[in-house]
Structure 1
Amino acid sequence: MRMVLTALLLGLSVPVGAADAPLLTSHLRIHDPWVVAEESAKTYWLFSKNDPAVTGDKRLGIMAYASDDLAHWQRPKLVFALPEGGWANEGGWAPEVHQWKGRWYLFATFHNDRAAIASTGKRPLYRRATLLAVADRVDGPYTLIHRGEPPTAASDMTLDGTLHVDAAGKPWMVYAHEWMQTGVGTIEALPLKDDLSPAGRPRLLFRANEADWVVGQKQPEGDTGYVTDGPELFRTKTGTLLMLWSSWGKDGYVQAQARSKSGTIAGPWEQLGPLVERDSGHGMIFRAFDGRLMMVLHRPFKRALAKFYEMRDAGDRVEVVREAVELDGEAWPTHGCPMETKDAGC
């Protein structure tokens, strides 16, 4: 501690773990995890919906944990609070933080079940969309842009927006169009202007049922819903454009990948199948400070934990190398039965 205080007084950077990082990865209840590896500070930031029980702040918003090793974390702080008076009053799902034009942009999904939108079926629909906020620092505070209006149309029920910058330097928001509205969920891409406002109409990339591993969920209204969740784009060392995305398979939530045959957002997109199965998904890829390619996702779906995997860039796809069990101490296989049930014939 004396060394830490001395470093602070001298204005030197202090590794997070050397200061106060009492939380282990296995302590973190995380849905839809997103990691930013801030190179200048050698700090990993893990973003999630605000949990008042751990931040002490009851406002609806987004929190961030900090770590220097992905195993030990500082207590989180609120980095964005949704202002009152807007159309949204619930959510905080799938926060993502991207650097664009020298600033940091937060993408997060909010909704309001009393803000009804037109429905042609038996199921009532309401506003749900990804809101954008901006900050000068990765850890905020973030402020809404575009007066709190999302890039997508108010009549579309959407979620899980992510930023993709194409080869020409043009931004896109890729997102899931909610199965509740479409029956079969889709992944769509909306062209954006430099201020991240819409620059055209959305493009359909693919439908959930184009993947042979996806299992539809029977609904109380009598229909079957096919889910699309958590798109994230990644370009491999050979220039191949991949997309991580999730849906439901025969054994629960699944982390999968798709590949653009053209190498552009336009596709066509081919489904490459699951990366991690058995109630695991909504993942993203980042580069660790030691150069390793890493993926983080949440599992199981209920009372989820953050789970890290070391990955391989195989050029035409990404592959799981191993579970990073040293970070959370738990083995959870990518395929087949959980370890504790293998002898039960599951």
Structure 2
Amino acid sequence: MLSVIVLTGIHFTLVFSQSRESAVREDIPLDSIRLSDPFILADKNTGMYYMTGTGGMLWKSKDLKKWSGPFHLAKTDSKSWMGESPMIWAAELHHYKAKYYYFATFTNRDIKIDTVKGNVIERRACHVLVSDKPEGPYVPMGDPEYLPANKPTLDGTFWVDDDGKPYMVYCYEWLQNWNGTIEKIELKPDLSGTIGESKLLFRASDSPWSRERDEKGNIVPNKVTDGPWLFRTQTGKLGMLWTSWVFSDYTQGVAYSASGTLDGPWIHEEEPVTPANYGHGMMFKTFDGKHLMVVHSHSVGENGRYIRVPTLFEVDDSGDKLVLGSRF
């Protein structure tokens, strides 16, 4: 039983990947898995790699080459704002103070919160679940909401800053503000809720590399912020991966904090850090000491649907700035 949870009268729903069940498969190569927003936890306690992402399912591997899954791992309260079968985007797994935490974006398509420029915006927000084990089950904690109900937020990630406090760093979605932001909000010590108000870190328009055309055909900064991930180089430099678009190419950039803390100011690199059509990345260290970045590739199928496959790159973080290496 989880010591940080006291719940009574709550009806749990096992959350399925976009409401579809999938049969568990064994010995699947990484490049045979379709998955957006991949996240890999290298768990020293179990000696296993755990991968999740959009859809919220779990894959397991001992060597990063052959994977088993997908497994269901999240349970939500069907009576909460999420409803019975929320969509799950960009799930992450974090080990912190002897617990495992599931950061994810949940969408209840039955609740509409706004309409902007003809776009109906559904109830979508970052939330955190908890478990004693990396494979779950992950269940709700104290706060029914982490972020304001009237704002669409997504891609929440976890960071403990120099002040020793835990934070969620997330995107306020461009669909409502038309200039996406990345923001931070303090978390309670056990991550069971948020404290105070959020703070702006930067806007999509601050990027020197992301581009799109406006309604008149003019080239302007892209409005999308997506997939923040915090890291420190081996020299102690605080950086953030984040993803946007360069016209039709889904692309990832990197920014560095001049102060060395989340408060920035954040200085953006002039050019993307990944090749075109690779993005929403995070980094981890393998059990044999290699530094890797996992991203998803991005292409469009004949039916117009996105095709996204997890891809590993070696990275060099020995200096003040991240250097992307060859595919792993």
Residues 259-338 of structure 1 mapped to structure 2, 5 A cutoff:
259-272=256-269, 273-301=271-299, 302-324=306-328
Please give the secondary structure, in 1, of the residue aligned with 2:182.
Answer: strand
In the alignment, the residues of structure 1 paired with residue 130 and residue 243 of structure 2 have an alpha-carbon distance, to the nearest angstrom, of 27
Please give the secondary structure, in 1, of the residue aligned with 2:175.
Answer: helix
- In the TM superposition, residue 42 of structure 1 has moved relative to its aligned partner by 1.8
Amino acid at match of 2:125: A
In the alignment, the residues of structure 2 paired with residue 230 and residue 247 of structure 1 have an alpha-carbon distance, to the nearest angstrom, of 9
In the alignment, the residues of structure 2 paired with residue 257 and residue 213 of structure 1 have an alpha-carbon distance, to the nearest angstrom, of 10
User: What is the TM-score when the length of structure 1 is the normalising length?
Assistant: 0.79
In the alignment, the residues of structure 1 paired with residue 63 and residue 260 of structure 2 have an alpha-carbon distance, to the nearest angstrom, of 33
Contact 2:54 2:88 in 1 (8 A): yes
In the alignment, the residues of structure 1 paired with residue 240 and residue 319 of structure 2 have an alpha-carbon distance, to the nearest angstrom, of 13
Work out the number of aligned pairs and report it.
Answer: 290
Match of 1:45 in 2: 50
Please report the RMSD computed on the Cα atoms of aligned residues, expressed in angstroms.
2.0
Deviations 1:142-187 (A, max 9, x none): 101235x331111111100001101232011000110001101010
Amino acid at match of 1:322: S
The 3 A distance-change label for structure 1 pair 39 and 123 is: same
In the alignment, the residues of structure 1 paired with residue 98 and residue 263 of structure 2 have an alpha-carbon distance, to the nearest angstrom, of 27
- In the TM superposition, residue 224 of structure 1 has moved relative to its aligned partner by 9.2
Residues 190-229 of structure 1 mapped to structure 2, 5 A cutoff:
190-196=185-191, 197-216=193-212, 226-229=223-226
* Greater fraction of residues in strand: 2
The 3 A distance-change label for structure 1 pair 63 and 231 is: same
Amino acid at match of 2:171: A
The 3 A distance-change label for structure 1 pair 86 and 225 is: farther
Percentage of pairs with the same residue? 37
In the alignment, the residues of structure 2 paired with residue 123 and residue 183 of structure 1 have an alpha-carbon distance, to the nearest angstrom, of 11
Amino acid at match of 1:180: L
Deviations 1:246-304 (A, max 9, x none): 00113510011110000000000011131113211000000011111100011115121
Contact 1:179 1:225 in 2 (8 A): no
* Aligned match for 2:246, one of 245, 249, 255: 249
* Greater fraction of residues in helix: 1
Amino acid at match of 1:152: L
Please give the secondary structure, in 1, of the residue aligned with 2:45.
Answer: helix
Please give the secondary structure, in 1, of the residue aligned with 2:72.
Answer: strand
Larger radius of gyration: 1
Unaligned runs of 5+ in 2: 1-24, 300-305
Match of 2:57 in 1: 63
Q: Does 1:31 align with 2:36?
A: yes
Q: Does 1:166 align with 2:170?
A: no
In the alignment, the residues of structure 2 paired with residue 134 and residue 294 of structure 1 have an alpha-carbon distance, to the nearest angstrom, of 26
Contact 2:281 2:295 in 1 (8 A): yes
In the alignment, the residues of structure 2 paired with residue 120 and residue 207 of structure 1 have an alpha-carbon distance, to the nearest angstrom, of 19
Deviations 1:191-222 (A, max 9, x none): 12213222111111111121121123658xxx
- Which runs of at least 4 in structure 1 moved beyond 4 Å after TM superposition? 118-122
User: What is the TM-score when the length of structure 2 is the normalising length?
Assistant: 0.83
In the alignment, the residues of structure 2 paired with residue 49 and residue 263 of structure 1 have an alpha-carbon distance, to the nearest angstrom, of 30
- In the TM superposition, residue 86 of structure 1 has moved relative to its aligned partner by 2.5
